[in-house]
Each structure stands twice: as structure tokens, then as C-alpha cells.
Structure 1
Amino acid sequence: MHRALVVEDQNLMRLALMAELRAGLRDCYVAGAQTLPMAKQLLDQDQFDLVITDPGLPGFDPTSRHDRLHVVETIIEAAPGAAHLVVTGSDDEDEALACRLLGARAYICKTGLSQGELPLVLKQIDRGEFSIQLSDLDTAKLDLRFPTLTPREDEILAMMMHRNTGTKRRAVFQEMATKAGINAASAERYYKQARAKLLKLGRLPEGL
């Protein structure tokens, strides 16, 4: 069983990251902490395989490089056997390098973190790579969710909307099939079901 800890003071982001981990890792136990003391308490009580940390925690100046790196260093020292992933809304390439030197395995900006991307980051970590994703507002894309769709229908539409120019639908179906452990035909079926629902509602976004 995988054991993961998400250290993030923003409730919606923490819950979203926890949901991503549950969806991407089978038999995953996920805990959440809003502050550094809460995180240290959980790390003292249990051993975690993965720790995701936002360095801008309450009680520290989110604009201070010293404070942010202190948060990261403290958590890494409290769980030296875990893989550490830093997720932040105030990303910086120099800070990413500093986090790597402290022992972090990934440094990801929240701005570019879409649904379904966290498992890809974890695969990079498993291969021994350092994963870094900095913000790029020029390439930011809309992230839409529709309540009438199932989670898999939602995911395949998001992947289709975010595909690179020139990428064929067939390639997206295969990508989802690999991620979800299904075949490409099933992925295409989810896409067609989702598209039909949105057409019925008259809410089909551009690119679908």
C-alpha cells in the first residue's frame, strides 16, 4: 500500500491533490495537513512513501525564500525516506534548484498542473528523474468541468482540449488508455459519450 501526505493550507487544492493520488495510485492511503506542525506530527506518527508540500504554509512569509526553503527542508528532514514533491503557486527556477539540492524529487507550479498530470510526474520520479514544471502563462489553457459527465468522460475531454496542435485524436485515446489501464477503443467510447452529452446541452467547447 502506498502512503502519501499532502501538506497544503488551501482546502480545495489539498483535496484535489488527495483525490488525484487516490485515482492514480491503487490502494493508496492519503493524509492531509494544513500547517507545518500538523505535518510534523503526522510524519512522527507514520512513514510515508510520498510527501507533497506547498512551501507557502501559514506562519511563514510566502514571499521569503528563507522561510519557504525552511518549510521544505524541515519536512524532508522529517521524512528522509519519502519522495518529496514541491507544489507551489509562486514558482521560481532558482527555488526549484534549491529544493532539488535539499532532496526534493519534483518542483511543480500549480498553474500548469491539470487533472491527470500528477501520475505522469510520479512516473518521472520513479524513473529517477527530477520533474520540474514552471508556470507559462502564454500557454495556459482553459480547464473546464461539466457536472453531467463521469470522471473518465471528464478526463478524456480535458486531455483532448489540452492536446498539442497537430496531435491526432487517436494518440489521445491511446494516452488515456495507457494511463487508465483500459484499451484505446474504450477511451474513444468515453470521448464519444461525453461529446454527445455536451452536444445535447449545447455546451461543446472549441477543439472537441
Structure 2
Amino acid sequence: MRLALMEQIRSSLGDCMVLGAETLEIATRELQRDDFDLVVIDPGLPGFDPTAPADRVSVVDKIIEASPSAIHVVVTGSDSSVEAEEFRQIGAAGYLGKTGLEPGVFSDVLEDISTKGFSIRLSRVGMTIPDYRYSGLTPREQEIIDMMTRRERGMKRKQIYELMSQRLGIDVGTVEKYYKQARAKLMRQGHKLPKGL
């Protein structure tokens, strides 16, 4: 999940570098070496009991303390509105449940933070189809494939092109090109295409 989350952050934010740290020790060391604009925190880091509220608060508090100038967003698989409020009180600007995280959500969360000061998005278990990941696709091609497979019934391809165009700040025609390239790659590789593609 860590690599998938890092990729989602990178694709949501565009031109950036994303650094991942699997332990609190690695995270605090890197935070002492560099200033980061955005720090995404999983309160269930190894070495701490992910079910113990005190351990979860300790992880978030230590990371916020080590990077006071950053925007802090907590991403967790065990989310609750009570915990979100507790983390907001100690300095987190955002709180996201991992379940149901969709591509592009980080740019939406940052927009919420800039306009409202805090963003909360609790898990949604609304998955009706599995997630597909394909080798050989660029991140943008994968994102358009994801958006197409998750589109609501009756939603046209052109509407998806427009949504992705707005999210990434690129031309609608370029988005359509990504879609056609991705679809052609998948067909050449002999993949059975999910319904809706």
C-alpha cells in the first residue's frame, strides 16, 4: 500500500518528489535533513501498536513536531471522526481514510485545506469493481483507465476527459490521447479489458 499511496500522491500533485519512510526513525531523520511542504502520516507505523490510540497519537505528534512548517495529512486504514478531531487539535490539516481513496484526492484535500483550514474524508466502502493495475502504462494512462472503469452509469467518456483535464490542467484532447494510447497498449498486451473500457 505504501508504494501505491506514494504514486497517488505524486500523480495528484504533479511536479514533485515523494519520499517514503517505513519507520518513525527514518521519517524523523529525513525531516531533520530537509524541509517538506507536505507530510503524509500513517499513524500505524511499525514499532507502534496500530490499535492503541496513545501510540497513534504519539506517531502523529512526533512527526508534526519534527516538521512544524509542513502541511500534515494523516492517512489511515482505521479512520474515525473522533480521531480526526484529535489529530486536528495537535496540528494535522487533513485526515483521510485509505478505503475508497481515489486518484486525484490529494489535490482536492489541499484545496479544502487552503479554503477551509482542515479536510476530512472518512473511508467509503463503495467498491463495486476491483482495482486494475497494468504494467507498461504511464501514471497518467493508468489514471484515465481507473477513471473510466469507475465512472458512474450513464457518464460519457467525454465527461471523464473533461474531469481529468480539469484535475491535471491539461487539454481535453490530450486526455483522450492518453486514454486511446492506454487502451491500445492493453489490447496489444492481450489483456481482457474491464467492463466500461
Q: TM-score interval w.r.t. the shorter chain?
A: 0.7 to 0.9
Give the alignment of 1:119-138 within 5 angstroms.
Answer: 119-138=107-126
1:83 aligned to 2:71?
Answer: yes
Residue number in structure 1 paired with 2:169: 181
The DSSP-based 3-state class of the residue aligned with 1:137 is coil
2:47 & 2:127 partners in 1: Cα distance? Answer: 33
Judge conservation of contact 2:11–2:140 (CA < 8 Å) in 1: no
The DSSP-based 3-state class of the residue aligned with 1:39 is helix
Structure 2 residue runs without a partner (length 5+): none
1:66 & 1:132 partners in 2: Cα distance? Answer: 21
Residue number in structure 1 paired with 2:193: 204
**What amino acid sits opposite 1:81 in the alignment?**
S
Deviation at 1:27, TM superposition (A): 4.7
**What amino acid sits opposite 2:119 in the alignment?**
S
Give the alignment of 1:1-208 within 5 angstroms.
Answer: 13-139=1-127, 141-199=129-187, 201=190, 203-208=192-197
2:4 & 2:141 partners in 1: Cα distance? Answer: 18
Overall identity of the aligned pairs, in %: 51
Q: Which has the bigger relative contact order, CA under 8 A and spacing at least 6?
A: 2
1:197 & 1:33 partners in 2: Cα distance? Answer: 33
**What amino acid sits opposite 1:127 in the alignment?**
T
1:126 & 1:184 partners in 2: Cα distance? Answer: 26
Deviation at 1:183, TM superposition (A): 1.0
Q: 1:158-203, CA deviations, whole angstroms, 9 ceiling, x for partnerless residues?
A: 0112223343322210111122332112212222333344455361
1:43 & 1:148 partners in 2: Cα distance? Answer: 33
RMSD: 2.3
Q: 1:58-99, CA deviations, whole angstroms, 9 ceiling, x for partnerless residues?
A: 221111111101111121122222100001111122111211
1:101 & 1:140 partners in 2: Cα distance? Answer: 35
Most deviating of 141-150 and 43-52: 141-150
Count of aligned pairs between the two proteins: 196
Judge conservation of contact 2:12–2:105 (CA < 8 Å) in 1: no
In structure 2, do the counterparts of structure 1 residues 45 and 111 end up closer, same or farther at CA, with 3 Å as the change threshold? same
Structure 1 residue runs without a partner (length 5+): 1-12
Most deviating of 101-110 and 123-132: 123-132
1:78 & 1:111 partners in 2: Cα distance? Answer: 28
2:123 & 2:136 partners in 1: Cα distance? Answer: 30
Deviation at 1:146, TM superposition (A): 2.0
1:26 & 1:170 partners in 2: Cα distance? Answer: 22
Give the TM-score normalised by structure 1: 0.81
In structure 2, do the counterparts of structure 1 residues 140 and 79 end up closer, same or farther at CA, with 3 Å as the change threshold? farther
In structure 2, do the counterparts of structure 1 residues 129 and 60 end up closer, same or farther at CA, with 3 Å as the change threshold? same
Give the TM-score normalised by structure 2: 0.85
Deviation at 1:52, TM superposition (A): 0.5
